């Protein structure tokens, strides 16, 4: 997993760097003592995991997460236990209290690895008819045929199925990647739809199971070609 470290304490960065370097499943891309610079990096680059301090000047770890359009897996690293409950409101993978032991670090990395692997699972490539969707601490195994459309909502994607709505902390690109391209098409900056679920097609919108969904002008030709 590609990861970065964001912490305003040099000693904390060096300790985490040493842990990352002896953990085969991790690849350290960069470290940041300034959270603003980390934010600039994340706006242009993607990683799988962030080791993130919370109490930092200029921009706290939680403010950094809230400012991102798309957020990777997060492991908070902090000396303050009072942030624990709030951190999980932002789908944090784990919460490590300083001083951090290597065995506890490994446990957090294993949890992150499961989440990242699940979010990247492309069931169609294995010939299966289900897709794994991570939502909070749960992984939903969803029949691909039951997915009607997927909607972007802030940092999340909402999978609208025939039975329920599933909120997942993944990007639009990740949602596109886990859905079979022959069955789904993107029609708007915020929507992916199941082709088979389309009921009517109009110039600026389609209807999927009674729900009217806008068609972006740059996606119209692609939709018509797929139909």
The half-sphere exposure of 150 on its side-chain side, counting CA atoms within 13 A, is 30
Separation CA 76–CA 126 (nearest Å): 34
Start-to-end CA distance of the chain, whole Å, equals 38
**Which positions ≥6 away from 68 have C-beta within 8 Å?**
39, 42, 43, 155
| Predicted local distance difference test score (pLDDT) of residue 73 | 87
| Predicted local distance difference test score (pLDDT) of residue 185 | 94
Q: What dotted CATH number matches 125-226?
A: 2.40.50.1020
> Is residue 130 scored above 70 in pLDDT?
yes
- Mind listing the pLDDT tens digit for each residue in 134-180? 888 788 888 999 999 999 998 899 999 988 999 998 888 888 888 88
Separation CA 166–CA 164 (nearest Å): 7
Percent of the chain at pLDDT exceeding 90: 51
Separation CA 211–CA 213 (nearest Å): 6
Q: In which residue ranges of the chain is CATH 3.40.50.2300 found?
A: 2-119
Average pLDDT, the chain: 87
> Is residue 121 scored above 50 in pLDDT?
no
- Regarding the domain delimited by 2-119, which CATH topology (the fold level of the hierarchy) does it fall under? Rossmann fold (3.40.50)
Confidence of residue 117 (pLDDT cuts 50, 70, 90): low
Concatenated DSSP letters of 42-94:
HHH---SEEEE-SS-SSS-HHHHHHH-SS--EEEEEES-GGGHHHHHTTT-SE
Q: How far is CA 149 from CA 75, 106, 121, 155, 156, in A?
A: 30, 37, 19, 17, 14
Question: What length is written for the chain?
Answer: 227
CA 163 remoteness from chain centre: 23
Separation CA 194–CA 212 (nearest Å): 13
| Predicted local distance difference test score (pLDDT) of residue 90 | 60
> Is residue 23 scored above 70 in pLDDT?
yes
Mean pLDDT in residue range 34-60: 91
| Predicted local distance difference test score (pLDDT) of residue 180 | 87
> Is residue 8 scored above 50 in pLDDT?
yes
**Which positions ≥6 away from 117 have C-beta within 8 Å?**
none
Tokens describing residue 180: 């079979």
Separation CA 40–CA 42 (nearest Å): 6
Confidence of residue 125 (pLDDT cuts 50, 70, 90): very low
| Predicted local distance difference test score (pLDDT) of residue 97 | 92
CA 144 remoteness from chain centre: 19
Reduced to 3 states (helix: H, G, I; strand: E, B; else coil), residue 54 is coil
Reduced to 3 states (helix: H, G, I; strand: E, B; else coil), residue 117 is helix
Separation CA 140–CA 54 (nearest Å): 30
Task: Indicate the pTM of the whole model.
Answer: 0.56
């Amino acid at each position: 997993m590609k990861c970065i470290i964001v912490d305003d304490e040099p000693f904390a960065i060096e300790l985490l760097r040493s842990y990352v370097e002896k953990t085969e499943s991790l690849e350290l891309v960069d470290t940041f003592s300034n959270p603003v610079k980390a934010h600039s990096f994340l706006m242009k680059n993607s990683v799988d995991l962030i080791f993130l301090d919370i109490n930092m000047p200029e921009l706290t770890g939680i403010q950094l997460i809230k400012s991102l359009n798309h957020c990777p897996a997060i492991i908070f690293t902090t000396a303050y236990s009072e942030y624990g409950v709030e951190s999980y409101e932002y789908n944090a993978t784990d919460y490590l209290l300083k001083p951090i032991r290597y065995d506890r670090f490994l446990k957090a990395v294993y949890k992150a690895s499961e989440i990242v692997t699940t979010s990247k699972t492309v069931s169609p490539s294995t010939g299966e008819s289900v897709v794994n969707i991570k939502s909070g601490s749960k992984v939903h195994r969803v029949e691909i045929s039951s997915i009607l459309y997927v909607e972007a909502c802030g940092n999340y994607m909402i999978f609208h199925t025939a039975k329920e709505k599933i909120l997942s902390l993944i990007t639009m690109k990740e949602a596109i990647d886990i859905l079979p391209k022959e069955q789904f098409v993107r029609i708007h900056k915020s929507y992916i739809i199941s082709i088979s679920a389309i009921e009517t097609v109009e110039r600026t919108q389609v209807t999927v199971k009674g729900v009217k969904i806008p068609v972006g002008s740059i996606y119209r030709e692609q939709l018509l070609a797929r139909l």
